[in-house]
Chains A and B, each alone.
Chain A
Amino acid sequence: MSLDTISLSGKKMEVSNKKMSFWESLYLVAIVKGLLITIRHLFTRKVTIKYPEQRRELSPVYRGQHMLKRDDQGRENCTACGLCAVACPAEAITMKAAERKPGEEHLYREEKYAEIYEINMLRCIFCGLCEEACPKDAIYLTETKVMVASASKREDFIYGKDKLVMPLEMALRNSKNKVS
Protein backbone atom coordinates (compact mmCIF):
# COMPACT_ATOMS: atom_id res chain seq x y z
CA MET A 1 0.00 0.00 0.00
CA SER A 2 1.38 3.36 -0.88
CA LEU A 3 1.58 6.14 1.63
CA ASP A 4 -0.99 8.25 -0.20
CA THR A 5 -3.82 5.87 0.48
CA ILE A 6 -3.19 5.26 4.16
CA SER A 7 -5.58 7.05 6.44
CA LEU A 8 -4.97 6.31 10.10
CA SER A 9 -7.86 8.43 11.30
CA GLY A 10 -10.20 7.25 8.57
CA LYS A 11 -11.00 10.88 7.87
CA LYS A 12 -8.54 11.48 5.10
CA MET A 13 -9.96 13.45 2.22
CA GLU A 14 -8.55 14.07 -1.20
CA VAL A 15 -8.11 17.75 -1.97
CA SER A 16 -10.04 18.41 -5.11
CA ASN A 17 -8.82 21.19 -7.31
CA LYS A 18 -11.28 20.66 -10.06
CA LYS A 19 -12.24 23.67 -12.07
CA MET A 20 -15.46 25.31 -10.99
CA SER A 21 -18.30 25.41 -13.45
CA PHE A 22 -19.69 28.77 -14.52
CA TRP A 23 -22.62 28.41 -12.16
CA GLU A 24 -20.37 27.51 -9.23
CA SER A 25 -17.97 30.32 -9.92
CA LEU A 26 -20.82 32.78 -9.51
CA TYR A 27 -20.79 31.68 -5.84
CA LEU A 28 -24.49 32.45 -5.58
CA VAL A 29 -25.65 29.05 -4.40
CA ALA A 30 -22.85 28.76 -1.90
CA ILE A 31 -23.57 32.23 -0.60
CA VAL A 32 -27.26 31.54 -0.19
CA LYS A 33 -26.43 28.35 1.71
CA GLY A 34 -24.12 30.33 3.96
CA LEU A 35 -26.75 32.97 4.54
CA LEU A 36 -29.24 30.33 5.62
CA ILE A 37 -26.76 28.95 8.12
CA THR A 38 -26.04 32.33 9.66
CA ILE A 39 -29.66 33.40 9.83
CA ARG A 40 -30.40 30.32 11.89
CA HIS A 41 -27.97 31.60 14.47
CA LEU A 42 -30.00 34.76 14.80
CA PHE A 43 -32.58 32.77 16.69
CA THR A 44 -30.42 30.48 18.75
CA ARG A 45 -29.85 31.00 22.43
CA LYS A 46 -27.08 33.48 23.09
CA VAL A 47 -24.11 32.14 24.97
CA THR A 48 -22.97 35.42 26.48
CA ILE A 49 -22.72 35.62 30.24
CA LYS A 50 -23.23 39.23 31.35
CA TYR A 51 -20.28 39.08 33.65
CA PRO A 52 -20.61 41.33 36.66
CA GLU A 53 -24.31 40.57 37.04
CA GLN A 54 -24.22 36.93 36.02
CA ARG A 55 -21.40 34.66 36.88
CA ARG A 56 -20.29 31.46 35.37
CA GLU A 57 -20.52 28.56 37.75
CA LEU A 58 -17.02 27.74 38.90
CA SER A 59 -15.78 24.22 39.08
CA PRO A 60 -15.03 22.82 42.57
CA VAL A 61 -11.31 22.97 41.87
CA TYR A 62 -11.35 26.45 40.35
CA ARG A 63 -8.28 28.34 41.53
CA GLY A 64 -9.21 31.91 42.33
CA GLN A 65 -8.23 34.39 44.99
CA HIS A 66 -6.31 32.86 47.88
CA MET A 67 -7.70 32.45 51.34
CA LEU A 68 -5.69 32.12 54.53
CA LYS A 69 -7.72 29.71 56.58
CA ARG A 70 -8.73 29.70 60.21
CA ASP A 71 -9.28 26.53 62.16
CA ASP A 72 -12.46 25.45 63.99
CA GLN A 73 -11.87 27.88 66.79
CA GLY A 74 -11.25 30.79 64.47
CA ARG A 75 -7.48 30.81 64.87
CA GLU A 76 -5.22 31.48 61.89
CA ASN A 77 -3.52 28.34 60.65
CA CYS A 78 -0.51 29.97 59.07
CA THR A 79 2.72 29.71 60.95
CA ALA A 80 4.78 31.87 58.64
CA CYS A 81 7.09 29.06 57.70
CA GLY A 82 7.61 30.56 54.28
CA LEU A 83 7.28 27.32 52.38
CA CYS A 84 4.61 28.80 50.16
CA ALA A 85 6.86 31.69 49.26
CA VAL A 86 9.62 29.26 48.41
CA ALA A 87 7.31 27.13 46.32
CA CYS A 88 5.84 30.05 44.47
CA PRO A 89 7.26 30.12 40.94
CA ALA A 90 6.18 33.70 40.46
CA GLU A 91 7.67 35.12 43.63
CA ALA A 92 4.31 36.54 44.51
CA ILE A 93 4.28 35.93 48.26
CA THR A 94 6.06 37.92 50.93
CA MET A 95 5.58 37.71 54.67
CA LYS A 96 6.96 38.80 57.97
CA ALA A 97 6.83 36.44 60.92
CA ALA A 98 6.10 37.42 64.50
CA GLU A 99 6.01 35.55 67.76
CA ARG A 100 2.69 34.87 69.43
CA LYS A 101 2.40 36.74 72.74
CA PRO A 102 0.74 35.15 75.76
CA GLY A 103 -2.97 35.88 75.54
CA GLU A 104 -3.07 35.66 71.78
CA GLU A 105 -3.71 31.92 71.70
CA HIS A 106 -7.26 32.49 70.49
CA LEU A 107 -5.91 34.37 67.47
CA TYR A 108 -3.11 32.18 66.16
CA ARG A 109 -2.85 28.44 66.29
CA GLU A 110 0.95 28.15 66.32
CA GLU A 111 3.54 30.01 68.35
CA LYS A 112 4.73 31.85 65.31
CA TYR A 113 2.40 33.64 62.97
CA ALA A 114 2.51 35.90 59.93
CA GLU A 115 2.34 39.51 60.99
CA ILE A 116 2.33 40.63 57.38
CA TYR A 117 1.32 38.32 54.59
CA GLU A 118 1.07 39.76 51.13
CA ILE A 119 0.37 38.26 47.74
CA ASN A 120 0.94 40.29 44.65
CA MET A 121 -1.97 39.30 42.47
CA LEU A 122 -0.33 40.72 39.38
CA ARG A 123 2.56 38.32 39.78
CA CYS A 124 0.54 35.34 40.87
CA ILE A 125 -0.24 32.85 38.12
CA PHE A 126 -2.79 30.93 40.20
CA CYS A 127 -0.85 27.72 39.87
CA GLY A 128 -1.78 26.54 43.33
CA LEU A 129 1.73 25.46 44.29
CA CYS A 130 1.52 27.51 47.50
CA GLU A 131 -1.51 25.48 48.47
CA GLU A 132 0.36 22.27 47.80
CA ALA A 133 3.41 23.39 49.73
CA CYS A 134 1.67 24.50 52.88
CA PRO A 135 2.18 22.06 55.77
CA LYS A 136 -0.47 23.71 57.91
CA ASP A 137 -3.42 23.64 55.52
CA ALA A 138 -3.35 27.39 55.76
CA ILE A 139 -3.66 28.63 52.20
CA TYR A 140 -6.28 27.61 49.67
CA LEU A 141 -7.20 28.93 46.26
CA THR A 142 -10.41 26.99 45.93
CA GLU A 143 -12.26 28.42 48.92
CA THR A 144 -13.10 32.00 48.03
CA LYS A 145 -14.59 31.26 44.61
CA VAL A 146 -13.86 34.80 43.53
CA MET A 147 -11.71 36.03 40.70
CA VAL A 148 -9.29 38.77 41.53
CA ALA A 149 -11.00 42.00 40.56
CA SER A 150 -9.42 44.54 38.28
CA ALA A 151 -8.02 47.78 39.62
CA SER A 152 -6.39 50.83 38.17
CA LYS A 153 -3.28 51.01 40.34
CA ARG A 154 -0.54 48.44 40.67
CA GLU A 155 -0.46 48.86 44.44
CA ASP A 156 -4.08 47.81 44.64
CA PHE A 157 -3.15 44.34 43.53
CA ILE A 158 -0.99 43.64 46.56
CA TYR A 159 -3.42 41.86 48.81
CA GLY A 160 -2.62 41.91 52.50
CA LYS A 161 -4.03 39.93 55.35
CA ASP A 162 -7.13 42.10 55.45
CA LYS A 163 -8.22 40.64 52.14
CA LEU A 164 -6.70 37.19 52.42
CA VAL A 165 -7.61 35.87 55.84
CA MET A 166 -10.81 33.92 56.04
CA PRO A 167 -13.59 35.97 57.63
CA LEU A 168 -14.27 35.03 61.23
CA GLU A 169 -17.95 34.31 60.63
CA MET A 170 -17.03 31.78 58.00
CA ALA A 171 -14.75 29.99 60.43
CA LEU A 172 -17.47 30.00 63.10
CA ARG A 173 -20.00 28.70 60.62
CA ASN A 174 -17.62 25.91 59.69
CA SER A 175 -17.07 24.92 63.29
CA LYS A 176 -20.79 24.93 63.99
CA ASN A 177 -21.40 22.67 61.02
CA LYS A 178 -18.78 20.32 62.33
CA VAL A 179 -20.32 20.10 65.83
CA SER A 180 -23.86 19.43 64.67
Chain B
Amino acid sequence: MIDLSINGLPVSVPEGTTILDAARFADIPIPTLCHHPKLTPYGGCRLCIVDVKGINRPVTSCTTPVAAGMEVTTTSPTIEKLRKTILELILSDHPNDCMVCEKAGDCTLQELAYFYGIRENRLDGERRVYAKKDDNPFIERNMEKCILCGKCVRICDEVQGVGAIDIAYRGFNAKVCPPFEKNLDCEFCGQCVSVCPTGALTGKAWGQRGRQKDIKEIETICPYCGCGCSITLHVRRNEVIRVSSREDTLNEGWLCPKGRFGYSFINNAARLKTPLIREEGQLKEATWDEALDFIADRLGKVKAKYGADSIAGLSSARCTNEENYLFQKFMRAAVGTNNVDHCARL
Protein backbone atom coordinates (compact mmCIF):
# COMPACT_ATOMS: atom_id res chain seq x y z
CA MET B 1 0.00 0.00 0.00
CA ILE B 2 1.11 3.56 -0.73
CA ASP B 3 0.57 6.31 1.82
CA LEU B 4 0.00 9.81 0.58
CA SER B 5 -1.98 12.85 1.57
CA ILE B 6 -4.73 14.53 -0.39
CA ASN B 7 -5.74 17.99 0.78
CA GLY B 8 -3.99 17.17 4.04
CA LEU B 9 -6.00 13.98 4.54
CA PRO B 10 -3.96 10.77 4.88
CA VAL B 11 -4.93 8.20 2.22
CA SER B 12 -3.62 4.68 1.71
CA VAL B 13 -4.15 2.93 -1.64
CA PRO B 14 -2.57 0.04 -3.56
CA GLU B 15 0.47 0.71 -5.74
CA GLY B 16 -0.43 1.74 -9.28
CA THR B 17 -3.59 3.59 -8.23
CA THR B 18 -3.98 6.96 -9.94
CA ILE B 19 -4.29 10.14 -7.91
CA LEU B 20 -7.84 10.46 -9.25
CA ASP B 21 -8.88 7.03 -8.01
CA ALA B 22 -7.21 7.65 -4.67
CA ALA B 23 -9.13 10.92 -4.32
CA ARG B 24 -12.42 9.29 -5.26
CA PHE B 25 -11.71 6.54 -2.78
CA ALA B 26 -11.38 9.25 -0.14
CA ASP B 27 -14.57 10.89 -1.45
CA ILE B 28 -12.74 13.99 -2.64
CA PRO B 29 -14.29 15.31 -5.86
CA ILE B 30 -12.20 16.13 -8.93
CA PRO B 31 -13.96 17.18 -12.14
CA THR B 32 -13.31 15.01 -15.22
CA LEU B 33 -14.54 14.81 -18.79
CA CYS B 34 -12.33 12.31 -20.57
CA HIS B 35 -11.87 9.80 -17.78
CA HIS B 36 -13.73 6.50 -17.70
CA PRO B 37 -12.89 3.89 -15.06
CA LYS B 38 -12.91 1.04 -17.57
CA LEU B 39 -10.81 2.72 -20.24
CA THR B 40 -7.10 3.48 -20.64
CA PRO B 41 -6.29 6.85 -19.07
CA TYR B 42 -6.23 9.56 -21.73
CA GLY B 43 -5.30 12.93 -20.27
CA GLY B 44 -7.08 14.97 -22.94
CA CYS B 45 -9.53 17.27 -21.18
CA ARG B 46 -7.03 18.47 -18.55
CA LEU B 47 -9.83 19.23 -16.04
CA CYS B 48 -8.58 16.77 -13.47
CA ILE B 49 -5.36 18.72 -12.86
CA VAL B 50 -4.09 18.83 -9.28
CA ASP B 51 -1.02 20.22 -7.57
CA VAL B 52 1.63 17.85 -6.30
CA LYS B 53 4.17 19.30 -3.91
CA GLY B 54 7.62 19.41 -5.51
CA ILE B 55 6.35 19.38 -9.11
CA ASN B 56 6.32 22.84 -10.62
CA ARG B 57 3.32 22.40 -12.88
CA PRO B 58 -0.11 20.88 -12.31
CA VAL B 59 -0.41 17.19 -13.21
CA THR B 60 -3.45 15.31 -14.49
CA SER B 61 -4.70 13.13 -11.67
CA CYS B 62 -6.29 10.61 -14.06
CA THR B 63 -2.93 9.63 -15.54
CA THR B 64 -0.51 10.08 -12.66
CA PRO B 65 0.09 7.16 -10.33
CA VAL B 66 0.40 7.83 -6.61
CA ALA B 67 3.81 7.75 -4.94
CA ALA B 68 4.76 7.34 -1.32
CA GLY B 69 4.65 10.56 0.62
CA MET B 70 3.02 12.50 -2.21
CA GLU B 71 1.24 15.67 -1.07
CA VAL B 72 -1.68 16.38 -3.38
CA THR B 73 -3.88 19.47 -3.45
CA THR B 74 -7.02 19.06 -5.54
CA THR B 75 -8.33 22.57 -5.31
CA SER B 76 -6.88 26.05 -4.99
CA PRO B 77 -7.67 29.41 -6.59
CA THR B 78 -4.98 28.76 -9.23
CA ILE B 79 -6.22 25.27 -10.06
CA GLU B 80 -9.84 26.41 -10.24
CA LYS B 81 -8.86 29.33 -12.48
CA LEU B 82 -7.12 26.92 -14.85
CA ARG B 83 -10.13 24.58 -14.86
CA LYS B 84 -12.37 27.51 -15.59
CA THR B 85 -10.21 28.56 -18.55
CA ILE B 86 -10.40 25.02 -19.92
CA LEU B 87 -14.18 25.02 -19.62
CA GLU B 88 -14.40 28.44 -21.23
CA LEU B 89 -12.32 27.12 -24.11
CA ILE B 90 -14.56 24.07 -24.56
CA LEU B 91 -17.71 26.18 -24.39
CA SER B 92 -16.27 28.72 -26.82
CA ASP B 93 -16.45 25.95 -29.41
CA HIS B 94 -19.82 24.53 -28.41
CA PRO B 95 -23.24 25.23 -29.91
CA ASN B 96 -24.59 26.07 -26.42
CA ASP B 97 -28.07 25.03 -27.44
CA CYS B 98 -28.86 23.28 -24.16
CA MET B 99 -32.40 24.60 -24.52
CA VAL B 100 -33.16 22.04 -27.21
CA CYS B 101 -30.38 19.53 -26.64
CA GLU B 102 -31.37 15.91 -26.13
CA LYS B 103 -28.72 15.57 -23.42
CA ALA B 104 -29.74 18.52 -21.23
CA GLY B 105 -29.98 17.51 -17.61
CA ASP B 106 -27.74 14.49 -18.11
CA CYS B 107 -24.75 16.29 -19.63
CA THR B 108 -21.40 16.47 -17.84
CA LEU B 109 -20.38 19.58 -19.73
CA GLN B 110 -23.58 21.40 -18.85
CA GLU B 111 -23.16 20.43 -15.23
CA LEU B 112 -19.57 21.73 -15.12
CA ALA B 113 -20.57 24.98 -16.82
CA TYR B 114 -23.21 25.33 -14.12
CA PHE B 115 -20.84 24.69 -11.23
CA TYR B 116 -18.19 27.02 -12.64
CA GLY B 117 -20.81 29.66 -13.41
CA ILE B 118 -19.79 30.25 -17.00
CA ARG B 119 -22.16 32.53 -18.82
CA GLU B 120 -20.35 35.25 -20.74
CA ASN B 121 -17.31 33.81 -22.44
CA ARG B 122 -14.24 36.02 -22.83
CA LEU B 123 -12.76 33.43 -25.19
CA ASP B 124 -15.55 33.32 -27.78
CA GLY B 125 -14.41 32.69 -31.33
CA GLU B 126 -14.96 30.57 -34.40
CA ARG B 127 -16.97 27.39 -33.87
CA ARG B 128 -16.72 24.20 -35.89
CA VAL B 129 -19.66 23.84 -38.24
CA TYR B 130 -20.28 20.44 -39.75
CA ALA B 131 -22.83 19.14 -42.21
CA LYS B 132 -24.50 16.11 -40.68
CA LYS B 133 -24.04 12.89 -42.55
CA ASP B 134 -25.31 9.72 -40.98
CA ASP B 135 -27.68 7.36 -42.68
CA ASN B 136 -28.18 4.87 -39.94
CA PRO B 137 -31.27 4.19 -37.89
CA PHE B 138 -29.55 3.99 -34.49
CA ILE B 139 -26.94 6.58 -33.62
CA GLU B 140 -27.39 10.33 -33.93
CA ARG B 141 -24.01 12.02 -34.32
CA ASN B 142 -23.89 15.74 -33.74
CA MET B 143 -20.16 16.34 -33.91
CA GLU B 144 -20.35 20.08 -33.33
CA LYS B 145 -21.09 19.16 -29.74
CA CYS B 146 -18.13 16.80 -29.53
CA ILE B 147 -15.45 17.85 -27.06
CA LEU B 148 -12.95 15.23 -28.31
CA CYS B 149 -12.70 13.45 -25.00
CA GLY B 150 -11.96 10.30 -27.00
CA LYS B 151 -14.15 8.04 -24.84
CA CYS B 152 -16.16 6.78 -27.80
CA VAL B 153 -12.98 5.98 -29.70
CA ARG B 154 -11.50 4.11 -26.77
CA ILE B 155 -14.63 2.18 -25.89
CA CYS B 156 -15.14 1.09 -29.49
CA ASP B 157 -11.56 -0.13 -29.62
CA GLU B 158 -10.87 -1.37 -26.11
CA VAL B 159 -14.23 -2.79 -25.07
CA GLN B 160 -16.08 -3.59 -28.26
CA GLY B 161 -12.93 -4.43 -30.25
CA VAL B 162 -14.35 -2.85 -33.39
CA GLY B 163 -12.39 0.34 -34.01
CA ALA B 164 -15.05 1.92 -36.19
CA ILE B 165 -14.06 5.50 -35.37
CA ASP B 166 -10.95 7.50 -34.58
CA ILE B 167 -9.75 11.07 -34.50
CA ALA B 168 -8.88 12.52 -37.89
CA TYR B 169 -7.31 15.86 -38.88
CA ARG B 170 -5.24 18.13 -36.69
CA GLY B 171 -5.53 21.26 -34.61
CA PHE B 172 -8.88 22.94 -34.31
CA ASN B 173 -10.21 20.73 -37.10
CA ALA B 174 -9.57 17.48 -35.27
CA LYS B 175 -12.71 15.39 -35.49
CA VAL B 176 -13.98 11.97 -34.45
CA CYS B 177 -15.23 10.11 -37.51
CA PRO B 178 -15.32 6.77 -39.32
CA PRO B 179 -12.52 6.17 -41.85
CA PHE B 180 -12.52 8.74 -44.68
CA GLU B 181 -15.54 10.38 -43.05
CA LYS B 182 -17.81 7.76 -44.51
CA ASN B 183 -21.19 7.01 -43.01
CA LEU B 184 -20.97 5.18 -39.74
CA ASP B 185 -21.28 1.51 -40.58
CA CYS B 186 -20.51 -0.55 -37.51
CA GLU B 187 -22.21 -2.95 -35.12
CA PHE B 188 -24.33 -0.13 -33.68
CA CYS B 189 -23.96 -1.44 -30.15
CA GLY B 190 -24.16 2.16 -28.99
CA GLN B 191 -21.43 1.75 -26.40
CA CYS B 192 -20.07 5.08 -27.67
CA VAL B 193 -23.44 6.68 -27.04
CA SER B 194 -23.45 5.37 -23.50
CA VAL B 195 -20.14 7.04 -22.57
CA CYS B 196 -20.42 10.33 -24.45
CA PRO B 197 -20.43 13.10 -21.84
CA THR B 198 -22.21 15.56 -24.12
CA GLY B 199 -25.03 15.59 -26.63
CA ALA B 200 -22.68 14.64 -29.47
CA LEU B 201 -23.85 11.04 -29.51
CA THR B 202 -27.47 10.14 -28.78
CA GLY B 203 -30.01 7.56 -29.90
CA LYS B 204 -31.89 8.37 -33.09
CA ALA B 205 -35.07 7.05 -31.47
CA TRP B 206 -34.73 9.37 -28.47
CA GLY B 207 -35.39 12.58 -30.37
CA GLN B 208 -37.94 14.83 -28.70
CA ARG B 209 -39.51 12.01 -26.72
CA GLY B 210 -38.53 13.50 -23.36
CA ARG B 211 -35.35 14.35 -21.50
CA GLN B 212 -34.99 14.14 -17.71
CA LYS B 213 -38.21 15.71 -16.49
CA ASP B 214 -41.09 13.35 -15.66
CA ILE B 215 -38.98 10.31 -16.38
CA LYS B 216 -39.33 7.17 -14.29
CA GLU B 217 -36.32 4.86 -14.38
CA ILE B 218 -37.23 1.19 -14.13
CA GLU B 219 -34.63 -1.51 -13.62
CA THR B 220 -35.32 -4.71 -15.53
CA ILE B 221 -33.72 -7.49 -17.55
CA CYS B 222 -33.43 -7.35 -21.30
CA PRO B 223 -35.82 -9.88 -22.88
CA TYR B 224 -33.83 -10.36 -26.09
CA CYS B 225 -31.58 -13.24 -25.17
CA GLY B 226 -30.49 -15.58 -22.44
CA CYS B 227 -27.58 -13.35 -21.37
CA GLY B 228 -29.99 -11.42 -19.21
CA CYS B 229 -28.33 -8.00 -19.32
CA SER B 230 -29.60 -5.51 -16.80
CA ILE B 231 -31.26 -2.57 -18.44
CA THR B 232 -32.89 0.59 -17.24
CA LEU B 233 -36.09 1.65 -18.97
CA HIS B 234 -36.63 5.38 -19.09
CA VAL B 235 -40.39 5.71 -18.99
CA ARG B 236 -42.44 8.82 -19.61
CA ARG B 237 -46.24 8.75 -19.50
CA ASN B 238 -46.18 4.97 -19.51
CA GLU B 239 -44.05 4.80 -22.62
CA VAL B 240 -40.46 3.56 -22.87
CA ILE B 241 -38.53 6.41 -24.49
CA ARG B 242 -34.94 5.30 -23.92
CA VAL B 243 -32.97 2.31 -22.66
CA SER B 244 -29.70 2.46 -20.79
CA SER B 245 -27.71 0.19 -18.54
CA ARG B 246 -25.93 0.93 -15.29
CA GLU B 247 -22.21 0.31 -14.88
CA ASP B 248 -22.61 -1.56 -11.60
CA THR B 249 -24.50 -4.44 -13.22
CA LEU B 250 -23.51 -7.89 -14.40
CA ASN B 251 -23.03 -6.61 -17.96
CA GLU B 252 -21.11 -3.56 -16.68
CA GLY B 253 -23.33 -1.20 -18.63
CA TRP B 254 -22.50 -2.66 -22.05
CA LEU B 255 -25.41 -3.63 -24.32
CA CYS B 256 -25.96 -4.87 -27.85
CA PRO B 257 -27.90 -2.96 -30.53
CA LYS B 258 -31.09 -4.90 -29.83
CA GLY B 259 -31.05 -4.27 -26.10
CA ARG B 260 -30.11 -0.62 -26.45
CA PHE B 261 -32.11 0.47 -29.46
CA GLY B 262 -34.63 -2.31 -30.18
CA TYR B 263 -37.44 -1.34 -27.85
CA SER B 264 -39.97 0.08 -30.31
CA PHE B 265 -41.89 -3.21 -30.27
CA ILE B 266 -43.04 -2.48 -26.74
CA ASN B 267 -45.70 0.00 -27.77
CA ASN B 268 -46.29 -1.46 -31.22
CA ALA B 269 -50.00 -1.87 -32.00
CA ALA B 270 -49.38 -5.22 -33.74
CA ARG B 271 -47.83 -6.70 -30.65
CA LEU B 272 -49.41 -10.02 -29.36
CA LYS B 273 -51.07 -9.54 -26.00
CA THR B 274 -53.16 -12.77 -25.65
CA PRO B 275 -52.82 -16.30 -27.04
CA LEU B 276 -54.59 -16.96 -30.34
CA ILE B 277 -56.29 -20.23 -31.26
CA ARG B 278 -56.99 -21.05 -34.88
CA GLU B 279 -60.58 -22.10 -35.43
CA GLU B 280 -61.69 -22.91 -38.95
CA GLY B 281 -58.73 -21.06 -40.42
CA GLN B 282 -59.29 -17.96 -38.33
CA LEU B 283 -57.09 -16.88 -35.38
CA LYS B 284 -59.26 -16.04 -32.40
CA GLU B 285 -58.23 -14.45 -29.09
CA ALA B 286 -58.26 -16.85 -26.14
CA THR B 287 -57.39 -16.84 -22.44
CA TRP B 288 -54.19 -18.54 -21.21
CA ASP B 289 -56.26 -21.32 -19.59
CA GLU B 290 -58.08 -22.01 -22.83
CA ALA B 291 -54.81 -22.07 -24.76
CA LEU B 292 -53.00 -24.35 -22.33
CA ASP B 293 -55.95 -26.72 -22.11
CA PHE B 294 -56.05 -26.85 -25.89
CA ILE B 295 -52.32 -27.68 -26.13
CA ALA B 296 -52.48 -30.35 -23.38
CA ASP B 297 -55.43 -31.97 -25.03
CA ARG B 298 -53.84 -32.11 -28.47
CA LEU B 299 -50.43 -33.26 -27.22
CA GLY B 300 -52.12 -36.05 -25.23
CA LYS B 301 -54.03 -37.22 -28.30
CA VAL B 302 -50.97 -37.18 -30.57
CA LYS B 303 -48.92 -39.07 -28.00
CA ALA B 304 -51.63 -41.72 -27.49
CA LYS B 305 -52.02 -42.34 -31.18
CA TYR B 306 -48.42 -42.01 -32.53
CA GLY B 307 -46.18 -42.35 -29.45
CA ALA B 308 -44.07 -39.75 -27.62
CA ASP B 309 -41.27 -39.70 -30.20
CA SER B 310 -43.63 -38.31 -32.77
CA ILE B 311 -43.43 -35.02 -30.85
CA ALA B 312 -40.49 -32.59 -30.91
CA GLY B 313 -39.90 -29.36 -29.01
CA LEU B 314 -37.96 -26.30 -30.11
CA SER B 315 -37.13 -23.55 -27.63
CA SER B 316 -35.75 -20.07 -27.99
CA ALA B 317 -32.55 -18.14 -27.31
CA ARG B 318 -34.74 -15.36 -25.98
CA CYS B 319 -35.77 -17.58 -23.05
CA THR B 320 -33.70 -17.62 -19.90
CA ASN B 321 -31.60 -20.62 -18.87
CA GLU B 322 -34.23 -21.51 -16.33
CA GLU B 323 -37.00 -21.43 -18.93
CA ASN B 324 -34.97 -23.58 -21.30
CA TYR B 325 -34.23 -26.02 -18.49
CA LEU B 326 -37.90 -26.27 -17.67
CA PHE B 327 -38.76 -26.75 -21.31
CA GLN B 328 -36.46 -29.73 -21.83
CA LYS B 329 -37.63 -31.15 -18.50
CA PHE B 330 -41.19 -30.86 -19.73
CA MET B 331 -40.34 -32.56 -23.02
CA ARG B 332 -38.47 -35.42 -21.38
CA ALA B 333 -40.50 -35.97 -18.20
CA ALA B 334 -44.01 -34.91 -19.20
CA VAL B 335 -44.06 -35.67 -22.93
CA GLY B 336 -41.49 -38.48 -22.72
CA THR B 337 -39.20 -37.69 -25.67
CA ASN B 338 -35.60 -36.59 -26.16
CA ASN B 339 -36.59 -34.67 -29.27
CA VAL B 340 -35.72 -31.25 -27.96
CA ASP B 341 -33.65 -28.55 -29.54
CA HIS B 342 -32.96 -24.84 -29.53
CA CYS B 343 -33.00 -22.15 -32.21
CA ALA B 344 -29.46 -20.98 -31.44
CA ARG B 345 -28.22 -24.32 -32.88
CA LEU B 346 -29.94 -24.02 -36.21
| Same complex | no
